[in-house]
Chain A
Amino acid sequence: AQKITQTQPGMFVQEKEAVTLDCTYDTSDPSYGLFWYKQPSSGEMIFLIYQGSYDQQNATEGRYSLNFQKARKSANLVISASQLGDSAMYFCAMREDVNTGRRALTFGSGTRLQVQP
């Protein structure tokens, strides 16, 4: 079974509008962390936002927010007021803290976001 599922291979959004990128995860670990990374065409991986499984509130970082629904095992990324520079691949990732013990991240297949003027 896929640990991290991103069902949207590609998304389009108009500049200045909000967009939601979906991510669902699968784990039996009671303690885990969820991450979103942005990969622009230049290739680097840029950390955006983190949500811990025990965090009571949804994480926010500037125009990024994470819609964390623990019971549904979803961790969608919301980008508000899209900008042309937001065009990139976006990856959701999970770290399982207890059962695996390895602390490494498992990545989804990514969503390519294109912001249109």
Chain B
Amino acid sequence: NAGVMQNPRHLVRRRGQEARLRCSPVKGHSHVYWYRQLPEEGLKFMVYLQKENIIDESGMPKERFSAEFPKEGPSILRIQQVVRGDSAAYFCASSQGPGNTIYFGEGSWLTVV
């Protein structure tokens, strides 16, 4: 763990509720990535952000999912009206620049009941 902080580590939500996952990148890193990992699978890219900008959201579901990385504060991945299929581990990663090594946080495990 190179300093990417994610919270909460574990989150339980009922179907229809909202889930908010937070990510503070390594100090000095301005590039943030969100990935989703289903059980026994590799990580799937969701969205790539820089401060106040979404650079690439090609991996984000078209509905219910949104992400932001404000000028101040952590990056937020927001899932509205959660469904059972949203249950997964959500990893945040950061890098100093687009060509630098990407470091991951410890993940946030979302369980939808």
Binding site for B on A (CB under 8 A): 4, 33, 35, 37, 42-47, 50, 91, 93, 95, 97, 101-110
Contacts and interface: CB of A to CB of B under 8 A. Distances in A.
A44 B42 contact: no
Contacts, number: 67
B113 interface: no
A43 B89 contact: yes
A104 B56 contact: yes
Given A45-B91, A97-B99, A110-B42, A102 B56 contact: yes
Nearest to B55: A102
A16 B102 CA distance: 30
Contact of A103 (B31, B44, B109): B31
Contacts of A108: 42
B45 interface: yes
Choose among B33, B43, B89, B106 the residue with the greatest number of A CB atoms under 10 Å from its CB: B43
Contacts of A46: 1, 104
Q: Which 10 A-B pairs have the closest CB atoms?
A: A45-B104, A107-B42, A102-B56, A103-B98, A44-B106, A107-B43, A104-B45, A109-B42, A104-B48, A43-B107
A29 to B, nearest CB: 13
Give the size category of B's interface with A. 20 to 34
Given A43-B89, A102-B58, A107 B44 contact: yes
A105 B42 CA distance: 11
Nearest to B97: A103
Interface string B36-47: 000001111100
18 contacts: A35-B101, A43-B107, A45-B43, A46-B1, A46-B104, A47-B2, A47-B103, A47-B104, A91-B42, A101-B56, A102-B55, A103-B48, A104-B33, A105-B33, A107-B35, A109-B41, A109-B42, A110-B42
Contacts of B56: 101-102, 104
A47 B41 CA distance: 18
A57 B17 CA distance: 51
A53 to B, nearest CB: 12
A50 B1 contact: no
